[in-house]
Amino acid sequence: MIQFDAVHKRFPNGTTAVHDLTLEMPEGGVTVLVGSSGCGKTTTLRMINRMVEPTSGTVRVAGRDVTRQDAAELRRSIGYVIQQAGLFPHRTVLDNIATVPLLLGQGRKRARARAAELLETVGLAPDAAKRYPHQLSGGQQQRVGVARALAADPPVLLMDEPFGAVDPVVRTQLQDELLRLQKELSKTIVFVTHDIDEAVRLGDQIAVFRTGGHLVQCAPPAELLARPADDFVADFLGAERGLKLLSLTSLAEIPQTPAETLRADEAVPPAGTGARWRLVTTAAGAPLGWLDADARHHDGPAGDAPLLPVRALRDTDSLLSALNESIASPGGLVARVTADGAVTGVTSRELIHDHAGAAHVAAGPAPAVTAPAVTGPAERAA
Amino acid sequence: MYELFKNLGTWLTSGAQWSGGDGIAHRLAEHLQYSLLATLIAAAIGLPLGLLIGHTGKGAFVAINLASFGRALPTVGLVVLVFLASGLSMWPVYIALVALAVPAIVTNTYAGMTAVDPDVKDAARGQGMRGHQVLRQVELPLALPLIMTGLRLALIQVVATATIAAYVSFGGLGRYVFDGLAQRDLVQVLGGAVLVAVVAVVLDVALAGLQRFLFRHRTA
């Protein structure tokens, strides 16, 4: 656990970077520090490994005041990933990763063996080992940066806008991999970003900073989105914060009804003999598209008929993607599939809307506006 | 004109001219000895100074002013000055050559150190390297191409200027230039000048090649 206790940081030029910060970053959790540039989030992060010294107050890692420890030794016990990776351009990827084990006095052979192992952990091919950083793409360099930070297996990982300089597609990949790694490793991670979507995806708790180094609010993502402390936080979260909240809720809890399906090799049934929108599937049950049974412009097998696209959802997909699909789907039905992609049923637009509302209620709206606004199914049942 | 070049060719290639105490081989060895020793002393002074200024970021004005000082310094004047003070010895020559070489080494070393990406230095400290480890493992290797350029520049300047050893009655390739001038022997003057130029160019090309080989993995 990392504790900030009444921490102040004033730079010699007189600017206050961090103002009276008291904050706890729980063990094994991801704490994301967000805010616009110059709000003190990076300074906060850098006070943890003493890259910046607090002007007053104490920072403790695992109960020990960091300023009472040798700075170099402290830093070797804390993983540190920075924007643009900051790799050593004159060292191979393998030697970059082996940096901290070597500083800790492990033999070259052992350090390199550990580095090779980490190459795989962060999803890089073994042949990357002998290359130099400039021969890698930005995303690959970031992976090496993460591997280097993990090399000595530190309990704490500091990440300063690590994915800020890569394109959005790669960024999403790297975020996914970080979440996967975190599931295995359970590090105490402090993550700095100015991207609120990234914060919501990765954070177990999110600390929002305002210019001048003031911590405005620290809460789990759902609570933050449902109940921003003030207008500053609400503005920062953006106009779509309701939708962002839905991105945090999975579909697993939402019931489904049996789907009216047609196998691709079956004939299209006569009009009016069932539901208008039928889900056409492969023999294995994978969805192919929606068939308008009333249109009757086709008499052959269902698979040859003109189909409207379907994007089937798994239980792990978010309520936000379900809401999106319920708008895009012709009959307002969302197709549900197993992890293997076989159709299990459908969920109606209305039910998804009800649950979307309930998600807001569950996250806890501000007490003053609670009572009249609530119309979730949970309340109706009660 | 043609006659002159023909005589020059004969002068440069005749076996007699190459052997003996006043032969080219001996003068060349002297010249290289002065040059290398002076550059070595200059490196011993300039490298630590440049590294220190670059690593700490303190005293940058020293490096900058030293560069202009080096450019403005009249070498012959310095030789005469030290000669008057010390009498007949190698001191004037070495002091002048070292004074000529130190600025190039300091400024290039300093430039190399400041060119190291601050993010990389930050990362090095952040991984837990101590000051001397950052210097040895990160800054020095990354600044090395520019440091070597400084040494190369210094050596070439020194080789070209080491002719002044003959001015205060010592050897080296300058002997031919000064003796030739005194004897109104244009071929000898020209021969000495050509030899100095050739030595400078050959050393420069060889060191540039070495640099390219050593830093073949670098992007820039």
Instruction: Write down the pLDDT at residue A364.
Output: 60
Which residues does B contribute to its contact with A (CB < 8 Å)?
A: 117, 119-120, 122-130, 133, 137-138, 141-142, 217-219
DSSP SS3 for A146: helix
Q: Which domain holds residue B72?
A: 28-173
Instruction: Write down the pLDDT at residue B57.
Output: 85
Does the interface predicted TM-score (ipTM) exceed 0.85?
Answer: no
Query: Does position A369 have pLDDT exceeding 60, yes or no?
Result: no
- The answer to whether residue B146 sits within a structural domain is yes
Could you tell me if residue B172 is left (phi over 0), alpha (psi between -120 and 50 degrees) or otherwise beta? left
CB atoms A82 and B125 under 8 Å: no
| Structural domain count, chain B | 1
Query: Does position A30 have pLDDT exceeding 80, yes or no?
Result: yes
Residue B56: which of B105, B107, B114, B112 has the closest Cα? B114
Query: Does position A380 have pLDDT exceeding 70, yes or no?
Result: no
Q: Which residues, at least 6 apart from A172, have a Cβ–Cβ distance to it below 8 Å?
A: none
- The answer to whether residue B11 sits within a structural domain is no
Q: Give the whole-angstrom CA distance, residue A180 versus residue A256.
A: 28
Q: How confident is the model at residue A375 (pLDDT cuts 50, 70, 90)?
A: very low
Q: Give the whole-angstrom CA distance, residue A318 versus residue A311.
A: 13
- The answer to whether residue B199 sits within a structural domain is no
Query: Does position B27 have pLDDT exceeding 60, yes or no?
Result: yes
Q: pLDDT per residue over A270-292, tens digit each? A: 776 777 888 888 888 888 888 88
Q: How confident is the model at residue A371 (pLDDT cuts 50, 70, 90)?
A: very low
* Candidate from B120, B217, B219 with C-beta closest to A86: B120
- The answer to whether residue B188 sits within a structural domain is no
Residue B129: which of A88, A157, A11, A55 has the closest Cα? A88
Residue with more model confidence, A38 or A52: A52
CB atoms B119 and A83 under 8 Å: yes
Q: pLDDT per residue over A139-160, tens digit each? A: 899 999 999 999 999 999 999 9
Query: Does position A365 have pLDDT exceeding 70, yes or no?
Result: no
- The answer to whether residue B217 sits within a structural domain is no
The residue whose two tokens read 């999403």 is: A172
Closest chain B CA to residue A145? B123
Instruction: Write down the pLDDT at residue B74.
Output: 80
For chain B, what is the mean pLDDT? 88
- The answer to whether residue B22 sits within a structural domain is no
For chain A, what is the mean pLDDT? 86
Q: pLDDT per residue over A317-343, tens digit each? A: 888 888 888 888 888 888 899 888 888
Among the CATH numbers 2.60.200.20, 3.40.50.300, 3.40.50.1820, 3.80.30.20, which is that of A2-248+367-381? Answer: 3.40.50.300
Report residue A123 as tokens.
């999803």
Q: Which residues of chain B have a CB within 8 Å of the CB of A103?
A: 127-129, 133
Q: Give the whole-angstrom CA distance, residue A134 versus residue A89.
A: 7
Instruction: Write down the pLDDT at residue A270.
Output: 73
Query: Does position B215 have pLDDT exceeding 90, yes or no?
Result: no
- The answer to whether residue B210 sits within a structural domain is no
Domain segments of chain A as ranges:
2-248+367-381, 252-361
Query: Does position B220 have pLDDT exceeding 60, yes or no?
Result: no
* Candidate from B130, B138, B219 with C-beta closest to A88: B138
* Candidate from A51, A88, A134 with C-beta closest to B126: A51
The residue whose two tokens read 């630590």 is: B48
Nearest CA of chain A to the CA of B54: how many Å? 18
Q: Which residues of chain B have a CB within 8 Å of the CB of A73?
A: 128
What does DSSP assign to residue A62?
A: T
* Candidate from A49, A88, A132 with C-beta closest to B126: A49
Q: Which residues, at least 6 apart from A302, have a Cβ–Cβ distance to it below 8 Å?
A: A262, A263, A264, A265, A266, A267, A268, A278, A280, A291
- Please spell the DSSP secondary structure of B102-130, one letter per residue: HHHHHHHHHHHHHTS-HHHHHHHHHTT--
What does DSSP assign to residue A39?
A: S
Please state which architecture CATH assigns to domain A252-361: Roll (3.10)
Q: For residues A213 and A17, is the Cβ–Cβ distance under 8 A?
A: yes
Q: For residues A222 and A363, is the Cβ–Cβ distance under 8 A?
A: yes
Query: Does position B182 have pLDDT exceeding 50, yes or no?
Result: yes
Q: pLDDT per residue over A56-101, tens digit each? A: 999 999 999 999 999 999 999 999 999 877 899 999 999 999 999 9
CB atoms A90 and B217 under 8 Å: yes
CB atoms A80 and B129 under 8 Å: no
Q: For residues A360 and A226, is the Cβ–Cβ distance under 8 A?
A: yes
Instruction: Write down the pLDDT at residue A70.
Output: 95
Instruction: Write down the pLDDT at residue A297.
Output: 64
